[in-house]
Structure 1
């Protein structure tokens, strides 16, 4: 499906559900209730919304002073500041704010909220993928003092939490569903390549080669800024050697880099079915082979996708280059934010394998 010019933002108004959500987050969290309006922030967080500002923001969005927030739960372990708010009518809303001011960001992470907002709106308009519905994206922030996304809450447990308890049949069903969703994601196309905020502003690249090399170079510059030890010369040499193969990608497709990350897949605890996908802040427009899930998909996943890429020639080289990029970003992010617990050793191993593959071609 080819999309029209991507410069229109849609903010649908939705009715708040009453008593339809019952699944609680499993991560450790801090809670702010209507009886205690103390901030849910840590001492190092300089821009965390407090309870009154959260309630004011919700009332402003829905234009009603009668809406009452019962509690606001700060969900931990995320790059962004995310709050699950419970209303007195049992409705649940999610408010997502930028990372705290003391959080170091990589170059490609400067426009994550805008990217997620535009991506979710696009997915709601053009697909049937179960993703959160945007209620409001406020670039200014209003009562919260910083930009925020307000969206509905999708019930479910993270696949990462339930994975050890799934049968082979249940996991195959989930993988098949994920493949179907990725097929819908990569079915969307645009007129330019590159990062979402640039594509929507008509400032993207005319070639995938140009866009991808810019992404990789940004990650390497981030590494240089922090004096991270990675094989800079080898990365630039071997990717540059095979960069002409990126020209095989002629049409920009939606690429959700973390689409199938187990922490972004929500599962119904009873039926073991996929209830939703979250985490669309890292989305670009380029080669669908770079989409999350394709590099290590199972047979059931590719059954849902409808095809399995044959890792030969240009396809193999491009997928190796994408592994180089993902591994580099993971390594650098670990040095910027070591408390997030990324797998640096695994990323370094993947980087070495990918560079060896490129060297052997």
Structure 2
């Protein structure tokens, strides 16, 4: 990844601790860290670690204890590790980082995930400078990647850490309701004003449509977020996908990119979802979930850049449409 100075945070990383973690990973005291750059992450503390031999690594650390996390974020580092390993094993054509080390024992500076470095600029940085043709090419590539991700199946539904521990759900209805309830409980904990009764009522009224989903597929909610897509500055081709910490197993219709996909995206994906009553209801239910999580996350972390008003408009629109069905 190639990050501009505007993305660097102001906090200084603990250089000796990171140096020891890198040397321990490669079991060699000869590995010398030359420079550490702080990257502004969505939730985690992320560092670009440049080595003296010219190579670079990415170190993602658990959030500080002072940062409040939502229930679904508690196992985000573990989720990202398992997702990256699964994709590297099954779909080598998808450009994701290689996991070099994962540590979850607290240790010197907490849990962390160390991965390989993928060169490129974030799509959010380059977007204003792309031609229509270049953007369509990127969208087409992302559509193909999302289709490939959605082809990966599991034996249970639910959050990744639970599925890999054989503690997932046997139905998508059960797993999704658990996700939604965890978001609503997060809202209740912070006394966030959202229409709890309406959310539960209208989702419940249409929840039977989720029974149309009978096979758990990989759902990466933020895979198409412009901050998670890396692009070559010269060729304008996608070089990597990062930020795969919010991944679970369920309905591929909920995958990142599907709700707001362009014509080029769906060319790469292969087809647009047929707008049956079931598909429309499921999409509105998923919009309700995403908007609720965004509203709650804004109250937990007010400086995270979330547009709360837009999330509330999206939530109201989804509930109104569910009510009209």
Normalised by the size of structure 1, how large is the TM-score?
0.88
- Paired residues of 1:96 and 1:148 also in contact (CA < 8 A): yes
> Which structure 1 residue ranges, 5 or more long, are not aligned?
1-20, 32-39, 42-48
Secondary structure of the 2:136 match is helix
1:141 Cα deviation from its structure 2 partner: 4.9
Aligned partner of 2:149 in structure 1 is 185
Query: Would you say 1:132 and 2:111 are equivalent positions?
Result: no
Q: Which residue of 2 aligns with 1:6?
A: none
- Per the alignment, in what secondary structure is the counterpart of residue 357 of structure 1? helix
Over 3 Å counting, the alpha-carbon distance change for 1:249 and 1:68 in structure 2 is same
- For residues 123 and 187 of structure 1, the distance between their equivalents in structure 2, rounded to whole angstroms, comes to 11
- Conservation of the 8 A alpha-carbon contact between 1:93 and 1:152: yes
Residue 28 (str. 1) matches residue 15 (str. 2): no
Deviation at 1:135, TM superposition (A): 0.6
> 1-side partners of 2:6 and 2:144: how far apart?
28
SS at match of 1:66: coil
2:19 maps to which of 43, 55, 63: 55
The answer to whether the 8 A contact 2:3-2:39 is kept is: no
Question: In 2, are the aligned partners of 1:179 and 1:301 still within 8 Å (CA)?
Answer: yes
Distance (whole Å) between structure 2 residues aligned to residue 312 and residue 346 of structure 1: 26
Instruction: Show the counterpart of 1:100.
Output: 64
Asked if structure 2 preserves the Cα contact closer than 8 Å seen for 1:77 and 1:340, the reply is no
Normalised TM-score (structure 2): 0.97
Cα distance, 1:27 vs. partner?
A: 3.4
Q: Which of the residues 70, 83, 100 maps onto 1:119?
A: 83
**How far apart, CA to CA, are the structure 2 residues paired with 1:312 and 1:251?**
19
* 1:243-282 mapped onto 2 (5 Å cutoff): 243-282=207-246
User: Which portions of structure 1, spanning 4 or more consecutive aligned residues, are displaced by more than 4 angstroms?
Assistant: none
1:308 paired with 2:272, answer yes
Q: Distance between the aligned counterparts of 2:120 and 2:5, measured in 1?
A: 10
- CA 30–330 in structure 1, closer or farther in 2 if over 3 Å, else same: closer
Unaligned runs of 5+ in 2: none
Conserved 8 A contact 2:294-2:308 = yes
SS where residue 229 of structure 1 aligns? Answer: coil
Distance 1:97 1:257 in 2: 20
Secondary structure of 2:46's aligned partner: strand
Matched, 1:288 2:267: no
Matched residue SS, 2:6: coil
Q: Is the 8 A contact 1:73 1:85 kept in 2?
A: yes
Query: How many residues of Structure 1 are paired with residues of Structure 2 in the alignment?
Result: 324
Counterpart selection for 1:235 from 184, 193, 199: 199
Aligned equivalents of 2:42, 2:182: Cα separation in 1: 22
Alpha-carbon distance in 2 for matches of 1:222, 1:292? 22
Partner of 1:109: 73
CA distance, structure 1, for counterparts of residue 148 and residue 9 of structure 2: 36
Q: Match for 1:328 among 265, 274, 292? A: 292
Offset of residue 74 of structure 1: 1.4
Give the secondary structure class of the aligned counterpart of 1:27: helix
**Could you tell me how far 1:29 is from its partner in structure 2?**
1.7
Residues 81-140 of structure 1 show CA distances to partners (whole Å, capped at 9, x for unaligned) of: 111111111110111110011000111110000000000000000112001110111122
Written as runs of structure 1 = structure 2, the 5 A alignment for 1:167-206 is 167-206=131-170
Corresponding residue of 2:313: 349
For residues 27 and 133 of structure 1, the distance between their equivalents in structure 2, rounded to whole angstroms, comes to 26
Alignment CA distance shift 1:328-1:30 (3 Å): closer
Cα distance in 2 for residues equivalent to 1:30 and 1:252:
38
Is the contact made by 1:27 and 1:77 (CA closer than 8 Å) also made in structure 2? Answer: no
Pick closer, same or farther for the CA change 1:122–1:27 going to 2, 3 Å.
farther
